[in-house]
Chain A
Amino acid sequence: MIYDPIDIALLLGKIALVFFVILTLAAYLVFAERKVLAWIQDRKGPNRVGPFGLLQPLADLIKLLTKEDFRPIGADKWLFYLAPAMAAIPAIMIFAIVPFGAPLTLFGHTVQLQVSDLNVGLLLFMALSSVAVYGVALGGWASNSKYALLGSIRGLAQLISYELSMGLSLVPVVMLARSFRLSDIVNAQAGCWFIVYQPLAFMIFLISIAAECKRIPFDLPEAEGELVAGFHTEYSGMRFGLFFVGEYINIIVLGGLATTFFLGGWHGPFLPPAVWFSAKVLAFAFLFIWVRGTLPRLRYDQLMHFGWKILTPLALVNILVTGWWLVLRG
């Protein structure tokens, strides 16, 4: 296989762009979350650092970087150090398969606005999202602390309840697009978004990704009210920061995936494709923040009941109905 240097340069450029945009966006999502939650609670939110508090993420970063890097006695050193990376890296890797804009033509090359257009992209997403929960599990286990351990146990219990329904809710998407490739899925929605055909699958996916990125009402592994901070109780400084930013990267990435699977990806009238994509992703982010400002936390047996007794059977029925419909339509 011969690689053209321009191709490689473009690829590296795309990776750098994705890293920069995602990390900045994640930092500002933290800020946006604090602001919106404050507005919901009739407060003003952070407004002291810079104009309208816009430099707050920078101040937070400096604070996290200068904090003591603490490791509890009896913690499993290597796992303790590995876990934050395991939570953040898979999250950002998933974005490699998300198409965030229409293909461009640069220097006579067609550039997919997507880091890598894998033909099993959807499966890669499922695999990586399961890896991400190892960060939670190992972080809690390695900390040698009961709160952290309880948090990670809940994380795992949560994983087995939502992963299945998340996977099953994506099967109709694959059936409609007839491909695991994300660019094909987006192109299949050029005419009509899949949310129109698959509102039920969309709802199931939405609930599952709320559980996936550990957001209220499914923030059981963290559960500030009960478990101090759950699996990252013992973390400090930038290691905590990685867990934290990983959660927000997850929101962006999963919002991007929900957009890709159900809301037509970058398709949309008038505005440029990348703008449509960002708008949809930010709408998801806002929805998550809004839900967090509204709903209480579930118990984890409730989540498991909900996952196994409601979401999974519904997703299965949905697959059957989609299958019949596709057969009848021919």
Chain B
Amino acid sequence: MKILSDIAALVTGMWITWKHIFRRPVTIQYPEEKRTPYPRYRARIVLTRDPDGGERCVACQLCSGACPVDCITMQSAEDKDGRRYAEWFRINFSRCIFCGFCAEACPTLAIQMTPDFEICKRDIMDLVYEKEDLLIDGCGKSPDYNYYRHAGIGVTQPRGSGAEEKPPVDVRGLLP
């Protein structure tokens, strides 16, 4: 009898919802209860420093180029020793979609995502972060990496003394 199975279906449904009334709600009461985001959670962006304390960012514009919403701008400059840095560096968090492409693109691991997602502001202009707001005193998620130790150009150390780097070959000495 179809009607009997229909009624049985109704009763089953009602029974299931009845049971759910007494379940513990899964709601997390946000401002009072917070769940800890995973370490790789993508939220507020920071600029990190290398283990020596120098700024990692070399103002190469790769993050800016990778950003799908074009919210990173900077001005590059060069120190007397030839080390490049960003004169100013600006991320507009009101446009950022927290995709993490900038962090993926960065060759020096300077720009990194952090799990701090609570960056709401009353005034939208406060969401434009300048370099002072972005730069942190630490290495972030990659404590040992120092770009210039691997780059092999004589900026922070003479050529040939970087990690995994052989001394330069005297090309004239190779002549037959």
Contacts and interface: CB of A to CB of B under 8 A. Distances in A.
A and B held together in a complex:
yes
24 contacts: A39-B20, A39-B21, A39-B23, A39-B25, A40-B17, A40-B20, A40-B21, A42-B23, A42-B27, A43-B25, A43-B26, A43-B27, A44-B25, A44-B27, A44-B29, A290-B14, A290-B17, A290-B18, A293-B17, A294-B13, A294-B14, A294-B17, A295-B10, A295-B13
A295 B10 CA distance: 8
Contacts of A291: 14
Contacts of B21: 36, 39-40
Interface of B: 10, 13-14, 16-18, 20-27, 29
Contacts of A43: 25-27
A40 B25 CA distance: 9
Contacts of A42: 20, 23-27
Interface in A259-302: 290-291, 293-295
Contacts of B26: 42-43
Contacts of A119: none
Contacts of B22: 39
A12 interface: no
Interface in A14-48: 36, 38-44
Contacts of B25: 38-39, 42-44
Contacts of A293: 17
For A36, A40, A43, A294, the residue with the greatest tally of chain B CB atoms inside 10 Å of its CB is A294
Contacts of B29: 44
Nearest to B23: A42
A42 B25 CA distance: 4
A40 B23 CA distance: 8
Contacts of B27: 42-44
Nearest to A287: B14
Contacts of A44: 25, 27, 29
Specify which of A36, A41, A290 lies most central, judged by the most chain B CB atoms within 10 Å of its CB.
A41
A41 B20 contact: yes
B19 to A, nearest CB: 9
B27 to A, nearest CB: 4
Nearest to A41: B20
Given A42-B23, A294-B10, A294-B17, 19 more contacts: A36-B21, A38-B25, A39-B20, A39-B22, A39-B23, A39-B25, A40-B17, A40-B21, A42-B20, A42-B25, A42-B27, A43-B26, A290-B14, A290-B18, A291-B14, A293-B17, A294-B14, A294-B16, A295-B10
Nearest to B19: A40
Nearest to A291: B14
